[in-house]
């Protein structure tokens, strides 16, 4: 299978990542429709070719159009879900209600697992649109850099190998390189889990610890990500790839990371309510920490860093105390 330049694509989610991915797809499709929920934003995309609230420095190509209408997906050959994870179920239901053809592939590009059910985004989409072929796309890819055409790599995963290969072509440009995989669960879990460690990295900076502490947390965070990720169905090697350690590194070290910024503010003494109100963008690690903490308890996996972030976010434990206690745990070998 392969996508043709004469075909159209639809991106649900007109935030920063949906917009950056629309720019990638615009090089391979006739028209890319960015579906948002605000008429003013659509008018701006169609009239000024900008999406200033989310990516203020970017001019969009003319073949990206804004819309609020889910039925725009009816004439698409490819659909991307790039919504906050909390909005994915409702959006998938709304899309199913349009009666879209079951042949249209759907790619989830969101990072997180559902609060309450612990479902991955591809599982939710499959539940509501069971006939459509599904894939996931993830990696160390901040929207600000991809939309500025700065070199980035990602991975697209599907159990439909021909679909993964076709998607690899349309997720590749001169500045964006995409690899393939069939480990859908591992790719999604890496993207969800790193959100929590990015908050931890921000907290560490906020409470005034140094580079050594962040490197230690990233390394032990990778061990935690791998342990829990395997228990939840991912393959070990995926966590050493772009959607695992790659994304862990970029979000733990980049000032673009919203999760990192949440942690930094918490470590500096702001409340969660204050920082989320100020951010104005989704930081998936906040709801994710709860769903991931619950998944770890359910599977009886030891996750001290995730537990510490959970205590800061949901149990009002002072950040310095929660992170500090990681050093005083029982001593153990590095590799179990």
Ligand X SMILES: NC(=O)C1=CN([C@@H]2O[C@H](COP(=O)(O)OP(=O)(O)OC[C@H]3O[C@@H](n4cnc5c(N)ncnc54)[C@H](OP(=O)(O)O)[C@@H]3O)[C@@H](O)[C@H]2O)C=CC1
We find the least distance from the C-beta atom of residue 85 to ligand 13P, in angstroms, to be 11
Please select the residue that binds ligand X; options are 153, 165, 249, 281, rule is CB under 6 A: 281
Query: Two tokens at 108?
Result: 């989830």
Tell me which long-range contacts 144-147 makes (C-beta under 8 A, separation of at least 24): 144/16, 144/55, 144/57, 144/256, 145/256, 146/20, 146/21, 146/23, 146/24, 146/175, 146/176, 147/16, 147/19, 147/20, 147/23, 147/55, 147/57, 147/58
Within its chain, how far is the Cα of 133 from the centroid?
Answer: 20
Please select the residue that binds ligand X; options are 89, 142, 194, 227, rule is CB under 6 A: 142
Contact between 51 and 60 under an 8 Å Cβ cutoff? The reply is yes
Of the candidates 5, 194, 298, 320, the residue annotated as catalytic is 194
Inter-CA distances, 93 with 59, 90, 128, 129, 213, Å? 32, 5, 6, 8, 44
Piece of the chain touching ligand X by CB under 6 A; list 136-144, 166-174, 262-270, 317-325: 136-144
Instruction: Say which entry of ligand 13P, ligand X, none residue 54 contacts (CB below 5 to 8 A, set by partner kind).
Output: ligand X
| Residue 224 annotated as part of some ligand binding site | no
In sequence order, what are the residues at sequence separation of 6 or more whose Cβ sits closer than 8 angstroms to the Cβ of residue 251?
140, 194, 195, 197, 198, 201, 257, 259, 260
Please select the residue that binds ligand 13P; options are 36, 112, 140, 244, rule is CB under 6 A: 140
We find the least distance from the C-beta atom of residue 108 to ligand X, in angstroms, to be 9
| Backbone region of residue 230 per phi and psi (left: phi > 0; alpha: psi in -120 to 50; beta: other values) | alpha
82 binds ligand X (CB under 6 A): yes
Identify the CA nearest to 108 among candidates 123, 93, 127. 123
Please select the residue that binds ligand X; options are 111, 120, 194, 261, rule is CB under 6 A: 111
Please select the residue that binds ligand X; options are 8, 15, 106, 226, rule is CB under 6 A: 15
188 binds ligand 13P (CB under 6 A): no
Piece of the chain touching ligand X by CB under 6 A; list 198-206, 209-217, 277-285, 298-306: 277-285
Query: Two tokens at 120?
Result: 């991955």
Q: Which is nearer to ligand 13P, 135 or 283 (CB)?
A: 283
Piece of the chain touching ligand X by CB under 6 A; list 35-43, 98-106, 211-219, 289-297: 35-43
Contact between 36 and 44 under an 8 Å Cβ cutoff? The reply is no
Q: Per CB under 6 A, which of residues 210..249 are in contact with ligand 13P?
A: 247
277 binds ligand X (CB under 6 A): no
C-alpha span between 74 and 52 (Å, rounded): 28
Q: Which is nearer to ligand 13P, 145 or 182 (CB)?
A: 145
198 binds ligand 13P (CB under 6 A): yes
Contact between 111 and 84 under an 8 Å Cβ cutoff? The reply is no
As a whole number of Å, the end-to-end CA separation of the chain is 44
293 binds ligand X (CB under 6 A): no
| Residue 108 annotated as part of some ligand binding site | no
Query: Two tokens at 229?
Result: 């990720």
We find the least distance from the C-beta atom of residue 325 to ligand X, in angstroms, to be 28
Q: Per CB under 6 A, which of residues 5..44 are in contact with ligand 13P?
A: none
We find the least distance from the C-beta atom of residue 242 to ligand 13P, in angstroms, to be 9
C-alpha span between 22 and 42 (Å, rounded): 14
Active site residue 194: yes
Task: Kindly determine how many residues on this chain lie close enough to bind ligand 13P according to the rule CB under 6 A.
Answer: 14
150 binds ligand X (CB under 6 A): no
Specify the residue for token string 């995926």.
238
What does the binding site for ligand 13P look like in residue numbers (CB under 6 A)? 111, 140-142, 198, 247, 250-251, 256-260, 284
Task: Kindly list the residues in this chain that would bind ligand X in the complex (CB under 6 A).
Answer: 13-18, 36-38, 54, 82-85, 87, 109-112, 141-143, 281-282, 284
Residues that are catalytic: 194
């Amino acid at each position: 299978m392969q996508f043709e330049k004469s075909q159209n694509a639809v991106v649900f989610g007109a935030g920063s990542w949906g917009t950056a991915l629309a720019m990638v797809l615009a090089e391979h499709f006739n028209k890319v429709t960015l579906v948002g929920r605000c008429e003013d934003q659509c008018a701006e995309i169609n009239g000024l070719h900008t999406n200033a609230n989310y990516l203020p420095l970017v001019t969009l190509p003319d073949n990206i159009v804004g819309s609020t209408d889910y039925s725009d997906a009816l004439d698409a050959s490819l659909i991307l879900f790039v919504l906050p994870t909390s909005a994915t179920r409702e959006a998938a239901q709304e899309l199913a209600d349009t009666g879209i053809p079951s042949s249209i592939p759907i790619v989830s590009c969101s990072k997180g697992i559902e609060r309450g059910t612990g479902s991955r985004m591809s599982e939710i989409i499959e539940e509501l649109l069971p006939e459509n072929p599904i894939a996931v796309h993830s990696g160390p890819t901040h929207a600000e850099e991809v939309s500025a055409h700065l070199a980035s790599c990602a991975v697209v995963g599907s159990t439909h190998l021909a679909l993964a290969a076709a998607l690899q072509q349309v997720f590749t440009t001169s500045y964006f390189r995409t690899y393939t995989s069939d480990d859908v669960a591992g790719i999604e879990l890496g993207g969800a889990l790193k959100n929590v460690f990015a908050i931890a990295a921000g907290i560490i900076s906020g409470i005034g610890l140094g580079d050594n502490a962040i490197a230690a947390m990233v390394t032990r965070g990778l061990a935690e990500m791998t342990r829990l990720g395997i228990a939840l169905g991912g393959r070990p090697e995926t966590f050493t790839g772009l959607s695992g350690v790659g994304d862990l590194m970029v979000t733990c070290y980049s000032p673009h990371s919203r999760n990192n910024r949440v942690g930094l503010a918490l470590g500096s003494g702001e409340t969660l309510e204050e920082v989320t109100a100020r951010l104005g963008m989704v930081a998936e690690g906040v709801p994710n920490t709860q769903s991931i903490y619950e998944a770890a308890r359910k599977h009886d996996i030891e996750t001290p860093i995730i537990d510490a972030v959970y205590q800061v976010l949901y149990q009002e434990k002072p950040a310095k105390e929660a992170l500090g206690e990681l050093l005083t745990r029982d001593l153990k070998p590095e590799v179990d």
